[in-house]
Structures are given as C-alpha cells and as structure tokens.
Chains A and B, each alone.
Chain A
C-alpha cells in the first residue's frame, strides 16, 4: 500500500460518509418520515447559507467519492478497512456539525417538532460521537501496514 493510495482511500471514505449522512437525512427524515421541514421560519441567514453550502458540497462529494472508489478498485489499491474508517469519520463529523451547529445554533430546523426534542438531540449526538470514535479507531489502526 503506497502512501498516496492510503490517503486516497481515506478521502474517498470521508467524502462518501459525509454525503451518505446528508442523503439519509434527506430521504429518511425529510421525505419518508416528514420529521424535518423544507424550510423553518426560525432559520438564521447564516444557517441558510451554511445549509446551502453543505447541501451542494455533500451532493458533489457523494458522487465524486464513488468515482474515487472506482479508481482505487481498478488499480487494485482499494483498502476496505481504511475506507470504512473514513466513512464513519466523515459521517460522524457531519452529523455532529448538523446536530449541534446547524440545528441548535443556526436553527435551520429541528430533528422533530415535538415536546421532548432534547431526547432526539441526545440520541443524534451520541450516534455521531460513536461514529467518530469508531472511525478514528479504524483510521489509526490502518495508519501503517498493508492489505
């Protein structure tokens, strides 16, 4: 495993993880469960910009990361463990940012419009932190070595 392809594996995973969380959020919570709103009247202007930027970036990175993956596969340098480390790290970091900064500080929207939203917020955060821990563990484990 060369250094460059190790970096490629991690980046492809990171970008895919970030995009995957945004996509699951969109499909599951917006479209199927209708927990989130398309636009919440209490959204701040900064929130609107941040949401737009992340939306565009995550959409782009999901597609780009899969092309990176195809490239790694073709060169026989795909490293599943390191890639998964990237996926969990990317997914966790984005979910934490979404839950803390975008939902709470910028008030883009809440997870669900119910009385005890704090319960939802805590579960959201705990899942995010667990993914970051798992992702960091896998990434550190695959820092050296070969397939």
Chain B
C-alpha cells in the first residue's frame, strides 16, 4: 500500500513539474512521451520491489527483479530526462547549485562511461562471485544496499552512455559504443558462469533458468538501449554524412 502511494506521488510530482514549466513562455512544452517514460520507469521499480519478498526463495524471480530494477527502470528513467526537468523547475539559484554539483570532480569521475560500466557490471560480478550473495540473504542491510546500488549503478551507466540530460564532459559515440560492448560482454559471460556453476543456496535447475533469463532478458533491454543510442548517432551524423546528390552537383 505504501509502495503504491509513493509510486503515485512520484509520478504526480514529475507531471506537476512538467506541466508547470510548460506554461512558461520562455520554455518549450515538455514532451508527452517523457511523462509516459517516467511513469513506466517508476512502475517498473515498484513492480520489482513488490516481487522482492519472493525473490529470496526463487532465483528466477530474483533475476526478474534485477532486470527491472537494474536495467529497464534506469533506461526508461534516463529517457525521461529527470535532471533537465529538475533544472527547469528549480529556482535559478538552486539550479546553479545543482549544475555545480554535477560538475564536481567526483561526479565526473563516477559518470565517466568506463568507470560507470565497471561500477555497474563489476558490481554484479562481485555480487554473484563473492560471499556478498550469501550476505545479501542473511543481512537485510546488505540486501537494501545491494538493491540501491543495482538501480543507481544502472542509472549512472545508462546516463553515461546515452546523453539525454545535460552532460558536462561528453565522450564520442565510438568510445561509448565500445564501453557498452565491453559491459554487455561482462554481463553475458557472468550469466554463463552462473548457468554452469550455480550459486550457493540456489538449486541447479533454478540457477540455470535464471541465468538464461538473465542472458536473453539482458539482450532484449540492451537492444532498446542500443536502438536509442544509434538513433541519436543517426540524427547527429545525418548532418555530417556526405550527401551524394549535393556533392555530385557541385
């Protein structure tokens, strides 16, 4: 019940910010699609959290929760440009403060595509290849920390390769593509290791199903991320790709 309330209030808050700033003459209307993306992102988080209790006993449910929380929700939320909306809504002095925060050395280090990729996929390796996995089931504080990290790292990674919100230090499309490929590689190798070796306290058949789910589910969400990335690249490069006709006419 509490979860539902928080979900509705968060979505309403976003809508309020969007509608209010759209009324200003100097700002353009906030796109309808972003409201939908944000709502879908927040809903994936709350669906993930509502299945959280079952994920203790069932590894497949655990994977489903992780795909929603660590991959789908971050992608949808990054696409809804929350930082841009926040900067539009806040009074100028607060907005300046926020941009100064975003330019801090620590922030630019963590949001470097390669570092963000390591934090995200490296974090998964640590979770499934060390004692952390068992601790997660024993100590609830570790459990909360793991899930907060899962979402945060997913969000930071997605926003470090897909530029929707303003980014102080931009990296080339080629570099970000390379980082994504490395990240997806780590993800697919890890899922095969889980498939072959299982995990402590998880029945083998359960681990296999979960690993296959991780592999193909990951691919599906990756495809959406790659699609959004390539679309940006396509739109940008259309300006630069030599026009066959215009060149042959000159």
Interface residues, chain A, with chain B CB atoms under 8 Å away: 1-2, 4-5, 8, 38-39, 41, 48-49, 51-53, 55-57, 59-60, 63-64, 67, 70-72, 74-77
**A53–B185 CB distance below 8 A:** yes
Nearest 8 interchain pairs by C-beta: A56-B184, A77-B244, A52-B189, A67-B230, A52-B185, A52-B188, A56-B185, A67-B234
Among candidates A60, A75, A77, residue contacting B181 with C-beta atoms closer than 8 Å? A60
With A63-B223, A76-B245 given, name 6 new contacts (CB 8 A).
A8-B241, A38-B192, A59-B219, A60-B226, A63-B226, A67-B231
| Given contact pairs A56-B181, A56-B184, A71-B241, A39 touches B234 in the complex (Cβ within 8 A) | no
**A38–B212 CB distance below 8 A:** yes
Task: List the B residue with the shortest CB-CB distance to A68.
Answer: B234
**A49–B189 CB distance below 8 A:** yes
Query: Within 8 Å CB of A77, what residues of B?
Result: 241-244
Q: How far is it, in angstroms, between the C-alpha of A5 and the C-alpha of B180 when the chains are bound?
A: 26
Among candidates B195, B222, B241, residue contacting A39 with C-beta atoms closer than 8 Å? B195
Q: How far is it, in angstroms, between the C-alpha of A39 and the C-alpha of B188 when the chains are bound?
A: 11
CB-defined A-B contacts under 8 Å, sample of 17: A2-B242, A5-B241, A5-B244, A39-B192, A49-B189, A52-B185, A53-B185, A55-B184, A55-B188, A56-B182, A56-B185, A59-B219, A60-B184, A63-B230, A67-B233, A71-B241, A75-B245
**B242–A5 CB distance below 8 A:** yes
Contacting residues of chain B (198-249) with chain A, CB-CB under 8 angstroms = 212, 215, 219, 222-223, 226-227, 230-231, 233-234, 237-238, 241-245, 247-248
Q: How far is it, in angstroms, between the C-alpha of A39 and the C-alpha of B214 when the chains are bound?
A: 14
B115 interface contact, C-beta 8 A: no
**A60–B177 CB distance below 8 A:** yes
Query: Within 8 Å CB of B177, what residues of A?
Result: 60, 64
Q: How far is it, in angstroms, between the C-alpha of A8 and the C-alpha of B187 when the chains are bound?
A: 30
Q: How far is it, in angstroms, between the C-alpha of A70 and the C-alpha of B242 when the chains are bound?
A: 14
Interface residues on B, range: 35 or more
**B196–A64 CB distance below 8 A:** no
Q: How far is it, in angstroms, between the C-alpha of A70 and the C-alpha of B231 when the chains are bound?
A: 10
Most A C-beta atoms less than 10 A away, residue of B180, B192, B222: B192
Q: How far is it, in angstroms, between the C-alpha of A39 and the C-alpha of B195 when the chains are bound?
A: 8
**A75–B184 CB distance below 8 A:** no
A1 → chain B closest CB, angstroms: 7
| Given contact pairs A52-B185, A52-B188, A59-B226, A75 touches B241 in the complex (Cβ within 8 A) | yes
Q: How far is it, in angstroms, between the C-alpha of A38 and the C-alpha of B214 when the chains are bound?
A: 12
Q: How far is it, in angstroms, between the C-alpha of A25 and the C-alpha of B224 when the chains are bound?
A: 21
Contacting residues of chain B (41-74) with chain A, CB-CB under 8 angstroms = none
Q: How far is it, in angstroms, between the C-alpha of A74 and the C-alpha of B241 when the chains are bound?
A: 10
**B185–A75 CB distance below 8 A:** no
Query: Within 8 Å CB of B244, what residues of A?
Result: 1-2, 5, 75-77
Query: Within 8 Å CB of A4, what residues of B?
Result: 241-242
B32 → chain A closest CB, angstroms: 25
**A63–B227 CB distance below 8 A:** yes
**A48–B226 CB distance below 8 A:** no
Contacting residues of chain B (138-183) with chain A, CB-CB under 8 angstroms = 177, 180-183
